[in-house]
């Protein structure tokens, strides 16, 4: 028995709606992941900045002050 054009269009519409929903969920998941990665990168940059400042401060001390913790 042949499939009516309306039935075929409804099937195609259902498939396309399913793909659209999957794409939206995937995009949302990727955006959340990107946000988490950006937050992590920001934290790491701040830690690196603080460590560089500590290193600069340590280098600014004289030899004996560094050696004996002054």
**3-state secondary structure at position 59:** helix
- pLDDT, tens only, 3-61: 787 899 999 999 999 999 999 999 999 999 999 999 999 999 999 999 999 999 988 88
pLDDT band, very low/low/confident/very high, at 1 (cuts 50, 70, 90)? low
Q: Where are the domains of the chain?
A: 5-68
CA 56 to chain centre: 31
Q: Global pTM?
A: 0.63
SS3 28: helix
- What confidence category does residue 70 fall into, taking pLDDT thresholds of 50, 70 and 90? low
């Amino acid at each position: 028995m042949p499939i009516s054009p309306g039935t075929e269009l409804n099937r195609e519409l259902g498939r396309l709606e399913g793909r659209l929903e999957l794409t939206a969920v995937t995009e949302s998941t990727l955006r959340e992941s990107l946000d988490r990665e950006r937050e992590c990168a920001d934290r790491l940059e701040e830690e690196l900045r603080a460590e560089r400042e500590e290193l600069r401060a340590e280098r600014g001390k004289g030899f004996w002050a560094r050696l004996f913790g002054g």
